[in-house]
Chains A and B, each alone.
Chain A
Amino acid sequence: MDNTTKKFFSSPWRSLGFFLMVLITMIWLLPFATALLTSVRTNDDILEQGFIAIPHEWTLGNFRTAWERGGLSRYLPNSFYITIPALLGTLLLSSLSAYALARFQFRGNRLLFFLYVGGTMLPFQVLMLPVFRLTDALGLYDKQLGLIIFHTAFQLGFCTFLLRNYMRTVPGEILEAARIDGCKEFRIWWQIMMPLTLPAIAALATLEFTWIFNDYLWSIVLLRTDALKPVTAGLATLQGQYVMDWTVIVAGALIATIPTVLLFIFLQRYFIEGLTLGATK
């Protein structure tokens, strides 16, 4: 036994804790394991044996079916066409507004800030009808641009709130020094504030990417054409009235999680840092 392992079993409480942890992890992973299992079985096999059983036949065909016939090959790129512009737009605009709110004194600063925060408190379901009517009136219904604009606007509140609080922790003297040297505000924002805010932006980007990428409601409200839909709405079209193509849906869902998982693996460090943003001053 190496040192860490020894430490774990140094007292009965510790080892009990360890086993509890393993147990809870296993329970936590059970749905995922079931999903993996389902994705390699056939529908008839599930009907005959139930959801949790050793399959009689194994198949990887579901992934192929999901990609080709299930349309993932076009839904997945669509997800990126929507998520990436929306993400960039939100981050750009919110970092600008956060900078203004954090660093400039002007009348209505507080009020504006509360408007942003208040906006995020609104349950988005109540916006469904007005947003639909507005999009239709602007001629953006059934266009990905409409969805991009909506996501950008809707995520703005939360991002501004978070970034504003983070930017306030940046010492004002740095900015003052730059200003005295004759630096313009835009340059201060881009060359001083943005690099200093990078950990927060990275954390935020991870979060926002997942949120926008996983959005389902707005893509079915604002889009009508199959060819434009992102992966979440696209996968849902595989649900029938009477018959669910479970194996293909699950296989498709597993493929659809890959980008988010990749992102988390790469940006994990920033994400965890982001969780404690503003915890210490």
Chain B
Amino acid sequence: MNKKLFALLALVAILSTVLASCAPAEPEVVTVEKTVEVEKIVEVEKTVEVEKLVEVEKLVDRRVVLYNSYMSDPAPREADAEMVKMFEDANPEISIQHSTVAHEDFKQAIRAYLTASTPPDVMTWFAGNRARFFIDKGLIMDISDVWESEGWVDSYPAGFKAMSSVDDKQYFLPTSWYWWAVYYRKDIFEQYGLTPPETWEEFLAVCDTLQENGVTPIAIGTKYRWTTAAWFDYLNMRVNGPEFHINLMLGKEKYDDPRVAAVFNDYWAPLIDNGYFIDDPAAYSWSEALQFLIDGEAAMYLMGDFLRDSYPDDKEGDLDFFRFPIIDPSVPVGEDAPTDGYFIAANSQHPEDAKAFLGYLGSVEGQQYMADTLGRLPTNMDVDTSSFTEMQQKGLELIQGADFVAQFYDRDTTPEMADEGMNGFMEFWANTDKVADILSRLELTREEIFVEE
């Protein structure tokens, strides 16, 4: 009996070694050259013989930069890897150790990364308040010299520079951003003789017509709460103006202000109560709710431009977008345009090479590649936009025509406030008559969070 057992154990062990040994053979089939690179590193680290390691390093003689990225969506992931490869080709003496981490995990893990004694050198992160959080704790390296030497002071719009600065020093490199808008089905609009609405009255009329014809006007999936925050951002900016909105985000205005209540009671609640949104949105994630738009059961969807990444390619021709309708023409126009970028850890072990890599990420060449591949918009004004698609041009105009650009609810305010706020939006969705209760509770939270600071 025991012999049998040992035989089985041995079999398992052999199986595992076979599996392990077929790994290095794999890259021969792989055409992506980056994978081969990583395999090499694995091999080197696995073979415990130190001599070999030294040998390989001598042969290649490349300095290492650790780069951790949250670009885990399929398309950005590939583009990200390609960028790393392009940099390595241009700088053969530097090798990037590139790790992609699931987006949600990265947001948690970054706290470990930044406090570890050997942190990743370069990391992806969000512009605005989210970056400020770490900068204020002294965990992020001052990269004013890179801004200076790369000439970004001139080639980046002042708004992006301000976004990256604390006390006139730059800590962050914003590289790409995308717009939010109301996406709609052109063919359905044509079928019922509708045109994209510009004002709130027109928008309500469009909703009415669609509903009469058995089409749910608006799709939304609130399984993950942030989709509701987009509606709050836009309604609040359109009704009360972006200045009030951003002050609310910074804790300088009160949630129980009658102006906030008006957003809920006069604009948001009627949309929900009239059944303009799909039924049971909490049952769907945003991408599951996209189904309604694809099937033509719903006609509009307030979403970021990443919506197009998920839309079936052969049906994208039916898709277009319009600016969130204007409610009060006297109020400046604010838009959401979340910006992503990079920073360097304060205790980075390879600061000079990390800065070189950062310099490439922010350069015209790097940004041009990302813009052309992913359709996101570049921050560097020297990037040639003539080759952009119609959609990109339209998105660019949308944001350039705005008086103010916000990041997004959960990026503009503190994480704790955003968490409570989005809970509030969800509760409101289910009980549109409880606005006063919800807002007074949010006000209590706001006081607690912002008094502490």
Contact = CB atoms under 8 A, between A and B. Distances in A.
Given A263-B12, A270-B5, A238 B72 contact: yes
A245 B74 contact: yes
A12 interface: no
Interface string B103-115: 1110001001101
Interface residues of A, number: 50
A44 interface: yes
A242 B286 contact: yes
Task: Give the dominant DSSP class at A's interface.
Answer: helix
Interface stretch (A18-26, A109-117, A151-159, A225-233): A225-233
Contacts of B100: 226, 237
B38 A226 contact: yes
Nearest to B78: A69
A77 interface: yes
Interface string A172-211: 0000000000000000000000010010001001000000
A241 interface: yes
A242 B73 contact: yes
A240 B74 contact: yes
Nearest to A205: B9
B32 A80 contact: no
B73 A243 contact: yes
Contacts of B70: 241
B291 interface: yes
Interface stretch (B39-47, B180-188, B196-204, B421-429): B39-47
Interface string B260-290: 0000000000000000000000000011001
A139 B312 CA distance: 47
B16 A80 contact: yes
Interface stretch (B22-30, B53-61, B388-396, B440-448): B22-30
20 contacts: A47-B294, A48-B294, A68-B35, A69-B32, A80-B19, A84-B13, A221-B112, A225-B97, A226-B100, A227-B38, A238-B102, A239-B72, A241-B306, A242-B310, A243-B306, A243-B310, A244-B287, A245-B74, A248-B74, A259-B15
8 interchain residue pairs of minimum CB distance: A240-B73, A226-B99, A241-B103, A77-B20, A80-B16, A73-B26, A243-B73, A239-B102
Given A80-B16, A243-B73, 12 more contacts: A47-B291, A48-B291, A68-B35, A220-B105, A224-B113, A227-B41, A227-B97, A236-B105, A238-B102, A239-B103, A241-B104, A245-B73
